[in-house]
Amino acid sequence: MEFSAIPTVLLTSSSEALSPVQVAQRRPESVFHPSVWGDHFLAYASADMAIAASWWWKDLDVAGKLPFARDRLVEMYFWILGVYEPHYILAIRNLTKVMCLTSIIDDMYDASNATIEELVLFNDAIQRWEVSALDQLPDYMKLVYQTVLDTFNIIEDEMAKQGRSYGVEYAKSALKDLVGVYCKEAKWYHEGYVPSMDEHWPVALLSCGYQAVSTISFIGMGELATKEAFDWVSSNPLIVQGSSVICRLIDDVVGHKIL
């Protein structure tokens, strides 16, 4: 058979199967129809509408108020669908929100016109996690910071109803660590400092976000999200370390510019 005669779908499937790292999102490739999704169809549809209509995303007005940031709501939602089984609707919604905010913060440190002084102030505010820290921030950072606080307050209220609010403290700590390394990388860039590989690598593994995502992903997972589970995932076990290495290297390969 000539190569050109092989069906495109077969070529695509073969290429993906032979890839050493599987990055394709399988669940959205399914036919999105009640007959396929069964009882979970309405739950997913409700989650879709709840996320799309959420006040926090509309009020952010990413394109208008935060033009430096990528509007990644749909992208993040479809990515996060691959993290959970269909019945973890609350976890899907929570992680989607937090990941969208994390993406905006990442862009703020990478792509905005913020001064290093402003970026340090934002990191200080995140580490403090207090409403009073708003006063020290420029207006666009106030919007992001207030949304972070409000979003986590809502998540904490939801978890308190289940008697599982303890998980939110782990999530806050993970976000603090992530923003902390964003700030460290920003300082290096603004100072023109080139760290050694030994100095850069642990920071780079944290800044890829997988350790934070792994911890935050337990929020809303019901009986699975015990305090012991949070202790385990926040200890950076080998599976999280390995995932972070893969994520970091893939991100660096994709983002590499040949001079």
CATH numbers and ranges of domains, the chain: 36-256 (1.10.600.10)
Average pLDDT, stretch 163-174? 96
Residue-wise pLDDT tens digits, 48-60 = 555 554 667 877 8
pLDDT band for position 68 (cuts 50, 70, 90): very high
Please state the rounded mean pLDDT for residues 186-197.
95
74 against 134, higher pLDDT:
134
In terms of Cβ atoms closer than 10 Å to its own Cβ (0-12, 13-18, 19+), residue 167 is: buried
pLDDT at 257 over 70: no
As a whole number, mean pLDDT of residues 80-88 equals: 85
Mean pLDDT lowest for which of 124-128, 157-161, 250-254? 250-254
Supply the pLDDT for residue 221. 95
Q: Is the dihedral of CA 52, 91, 25, 70 positive or negative?
A: positive
253 vs 248: CA distance, rounded Å:
9
Query: Which span out of 44-53, 89-98, 201-210 was modeled with the highest average pLDDT?
Result: 201-210
Question: By percentage, how much of the chain surpasses pLDDT 70?
Answer: 76
Q: Quick one: pLDDT band at residue 10, thresholds 50, 70, 90?
A: very low
pLDDT band at 172 (very low <50, low <70, confident <90, very high): very high
Q: What is the mean pLDDT of the chain?
A: 83
Of the two residues 40 and 227, the one the predictor is more confident about is 227
pLDDT at res. 47 = 56
User: Which is nearest to 126 in space by CA: 190, 177, 202?
Assistant: 177
